[in-house]
């Protein structure tokens, strides 16, 4: 999995890990912050939340255009500086009045603009590492590793947000509404770490920073020239993929909106025993160590390496046993903590995914990237089937709010199971989609096409707000059925276009 990859991959992945840790710390509590600090209704909070997500993922179009002209490295550096200013502004507590609201809007615009310059262009640089023929056959695996690194940052973010807020409330006497700003401040620190990593290891990927258009005249290679008509064919194929993934992200990013509302309003407020262990991120980390060590046992070429892996497994199991006997009688469950499960599952399941597809590739049966994307849409539909079944017989959100002590709460396992299945869909769609874009995009339009991938994500994120408007008088199982239907229809469209897409991907 990690063998024979260029060193630049790990440097870029770690730089992105720091930035994503800060972003997901902020996003884990943002929808709840809007309601607690400004007293907004779910629909209004959802509109602001989804509009911010839309900008975060749409502005890479602009960032890609600029990078195609001026170079990817310059835009990454400028972007992280602009993001830093936005997070600093967001971390200042100004109350809940109009001044605070518009200051928040300004901060969100800065964060969006900075992300637009940083995120897509960093991923293009990862793809550029694999334009070298000696690494070209490792592109899909590389993006799975890169995607895993993103989720390492995201995995710790909800715990960081909850703990820093608890500390502010308990030890500093800060109100709940003001404590959210401490969570936002974590992002400032993480960005400093991110840019430090970027420049410390820049020598391993400096050659990827320049775009084709920014190269000196005559410096472009023959591989960067396409036959007449090929550019248009590739762009059309990419647009078809972009259309499909809109609806995946619409469903997936309900994790910060309706799935968080469900955790807050319909899910048990405490857990005990083995169930409660799942809500401590360090227990999840121990499980991840076990997964990776198991792979090392079977893949290591020396007995010494196998012995080390077995030792890691024994230590992780001992740690979990010790943690079990230290459990309190009951563990409080905060709604944002559920968002740690998706990134945790990504990190744990990435080697499983790579191993499965590697095994299929060795037998000539690995699905193409477009086919993996279509399968990902179907898996996402299955995730919401779990939510629909778990919501049968529950009150509507408005009825639940009015029920008081008569309100009904369900097991956390419904949400955990949903996040597990959604993660399978995500691993089929997101890293494979990014890899597909970097492989198929015309050389002179790499930044723009990566921006197109994020623009489709942006539209999906904007449509996330639909979930907020459905959250009220509609029975919950019907809310989830909306996402089931959209995912199934998108998958069918993808399969209908499969022949054209697979021809371009060859």
440-452: pLDDT as tens digits: 888 778 778 877 8
Question: What's the pLDDT score for residue 214?
Answer: 53
Residues 6 or more apart whose Cβ sits within 8 Å of residue 402: none
Residue 315 has pLDDT above 90, yes or no: yes
More confident residue, 438 or 171: 171
Residue 416 pLDDT level (bands cut at 50, 70, 90): very high
- Rounded distance between C-alpha atoms, residue 444 and residue 224, angstroms: 7
Q: Average pLDDT for residues 30-36, to the nearest whole number?
A: 84
Is the Cβ–Cβ distance between 108 and 82 less than 8 Å? no
Residue 220 pLDDT > 70, yes or no?
Answer: no
**Smallest Cα–Cα separation from 65: which of 3, 153, 124?**
124
Q: Tell me 363's DSSP state.
A: T
Q: What pLDDT is attached to residue 311?
A: 94
Q: Which residue has the tokens 């500086």?
A: 81
Residue 321 pLDDT: 95
């Amino acid at each position: 999995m990690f063998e024979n990859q260029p060193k630049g991959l790990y440097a870029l992945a770690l730089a992105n890990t720091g930035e994503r840790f800060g972003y997901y710390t902020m996003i884990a509590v943002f929808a709840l912050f809007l309601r607690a600090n400004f007293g907004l209704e779910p629909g209004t909070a959802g509109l602001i939340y989804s509009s911010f997500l839309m900008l975060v993922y749409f502005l890479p179009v602009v960032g890609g255009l600029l990078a195609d002209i001026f170079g990817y490295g310059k835009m990454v550096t400028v972007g992280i500086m602009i993001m830093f200013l936005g997070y600093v502004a967001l971390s200042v507590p100004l109350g809940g009045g109009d001044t605070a609201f518009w200051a928040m809007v300004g901060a969100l615009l800065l964060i969006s603009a900075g992300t637009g310059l940083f995120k897509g262009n960093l991923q293009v640089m990862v793809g550029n590492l694999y334009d070298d023929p000696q690494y070209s056959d490792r592109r899909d695996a590389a993006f799975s590793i890169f995607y895993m690194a993103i989720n390492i940052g995201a995995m710790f973010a909800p715990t960081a947000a909850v703990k820093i807020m608890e500390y502010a409330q308990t030890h500093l006497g800060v109100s709940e509404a003001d404590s959210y700003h401490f969570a936002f401040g974590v992002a400032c620190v993480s960005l400093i770490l991110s840019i430090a990593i970027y420049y410390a290891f820049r020598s391993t990927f400096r050659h990827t920073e320049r775009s084709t258009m920014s190269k000196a005249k005559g410096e472009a290679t023959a591989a960067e020239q396409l036959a007449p008509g090929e550019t248009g064919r590739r762009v059309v194929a990419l647009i078809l993929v972009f259309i499909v993934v809109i609806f995946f992200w619409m469903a997936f990013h309900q994790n910060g909106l309706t799935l968080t509302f469900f955790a807050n309003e319909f899910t048990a407020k405490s857990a005990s025993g083995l169930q409660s262990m799942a809500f401590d991120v360090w227990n999840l980390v121990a499980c991840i160590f076990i997964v990776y060590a198991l792979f090392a046992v079977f893949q290591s070429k020396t007995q010494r390496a196998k012995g080390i892996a077995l030792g890691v497994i024994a230590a992780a199991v001992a740690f979990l046993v010790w943690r079990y006997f230290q459990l309190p009688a009951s563990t409080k469950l905060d709604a944002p903590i559920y968002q740690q499960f998706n990134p945790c599952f990504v990190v744990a399941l990435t080697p499983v995914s790579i191993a499965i597809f590697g095994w299929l590739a060795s037998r000539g049966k690995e699905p193409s990237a477009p086919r993996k994307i279509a399968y990902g849409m179907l898996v996402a539909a299955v995730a919401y089937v779990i939510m629909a079944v778990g919501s049968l017989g529950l009150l509507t959100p408005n009825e639940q709010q009015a029920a008081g002590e008569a309100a009904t709460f369900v097991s956390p396992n419904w949400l955990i199971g949903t996040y597990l299945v959604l993660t399978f869909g995500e691993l089929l769609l997101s890293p494979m989609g990014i890899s597909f874009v970097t492989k198929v995009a015309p050389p002179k339009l790499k930044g723009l096409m990566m921006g197109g991938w994020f623009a489709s994500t942006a539209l999906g994120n904007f449509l996330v707000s639909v979930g907020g408007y459905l959250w009220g008088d509609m029975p919950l199982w019907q809310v989830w059925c909306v996402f089931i239907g959209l995912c199934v229809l998108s998958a069918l469209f993808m399969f209908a276009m499969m022949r054209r897409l697979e021809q371009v991907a060859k």
